[in-house]
Structure 1
């Protein structure tokens, strides 16, 4: 579904992506791990076409992302943003139905509201939440609303950007379970970027380790703990000593 071939991205003298190669098969959940500032978010933005790589190609279902018609291309994606990223001025149901009220996917307002309430139910929120505003919700509820918005238009591909940031361990576990259930239920292709190892173990079919601008290792999540790669070993066990230098 998604294929990156020798993708490079520079910002002035700083090289962020230095020849990334990665394949995400249709219907699989890929989790990209790596420390802060290693280029995970840049990688995601390049796939979405929000940034243009300096070299290399990115294919979506065999089509070059750089040549895709934008509206049709983006309509295939759902996105759960870090921190939920809800619109404060809109009630919850309009946040969930944001895409369904605009553009080529626009539905009648009543139908969009019904879909939003159904998606809220799917993530464990009652219909009475629909008319509240984001400021009236807890952090965990906001994240669920963000997840409901990500799946509202039944996307083929869903991106999760640090899905458990800012949540306590119990709520993080709830969100991880929801993400896994929904991805399997929808048969969606999923890509998650995170440094939370509990999320990795709960969500991933496969794992890719991004460091120094390249994918250092990729493989099934079941093989991650036994990986001979020193970068993976240091990262997943949180060791200070190893090839990854800690910023002091």
Structure 2
């Protein structure tokens, strides 16, 4: 569904992406791993068309993402942001239904609210949560609200940016399980950015490692531990010494 071919992106002298090649299959969950500052978020923004690559191509179903109609293009995506990114001045249901009430196909308020409550229920939150404000929720509940918002418009493609950041291990496990269930249930294509190996093993069909501006390795999650690539092995086992340290 998504194909990146020789994608380059630099910010001044900082060459972040240096020839990324990656294919994300329709209906599959791709997790991109890599250390902080390796360009994972820049890659995601390039796919969304928020950042224009200096060279190379990114296509969605064969269509160049930089030439697509923006509103129709972005309507195909859902997004769970790293920090939740909820609007603190809006009630929970209004956050979940934010996209549903805007644009050329906006729904009536009562209908959008019903859908929001249904999506909140799908992520394990009771209807009474709908009228609270984000500040009244725990971190784990806020993350669930963010997930409900990401799936509210039934997107074909969902991006997850560090979905378990700031959560305790138990809540992180709950979120990972929800993500996996929802992606399979919806038949959605998923792209996740994370350095949490527990998340990788819980939600990935395929894994790609971004390092040095290129994809060093990609393959099924079942083959991750067996790959002899020293960069991958150092990263997944959290070793202090290895080739990643050497290039810093």
Q: Within 5 A, what are the aligned runs for 1:65-214?
A: 65-214=65-214
What TM-score, normalized by structure 1, do the two folds share? Answer: 0.99
Per-residue CA shift, 1:36-60, capped at 9, x if unaligned?
A: 0000000000000000000000000
Which ranges in structure 1 are unaligned for 5 or more consecutive residues?
none
Q: CA deviation at 1:246?
A: 7.5
Q: Does the residue aligned with 1:183 lie in a helix, a strand or coil?
A: helix
TM-score of the pair, normalised by structure 2: 0.99
Aligned CA-pair RMSD: 1.0
2-structure distance, mates of 1:50, 1:104: 21
Do structure 1's residue 226 and structure 2's residue 230 form an aligned pair?
Answer: no
Any gaps of 5 or more consecutive residues in structure 2? none
Q: Residue in 2 aligned with 1:32? A: 32
1:71, 1:104 within 8 Å by CA — same for their partners in 2?
no
Q: Residues of 1 paired with 2:119 and 2:226: CA distance? A: 38
Shift of 1:245: 1.4
Contact 1:38 1:211 in 2 (8 A): yes
Cα separation, 1, equivalents of 2:26 and 2:105: 23
CA deviation after TM superposition for structure 1 residue 247, in Å: 9.6
CA distance in 1, matches of 2:245, 2:194: 19
Aligned residues: 248
CA distance in 2, matches of 1:97, 1:167: 24
Shift of 1:105: 3.4
Task: Return the offset for 1:108.
Answer: 0.6
- CA shift at 1:241, angstroms? 1.0
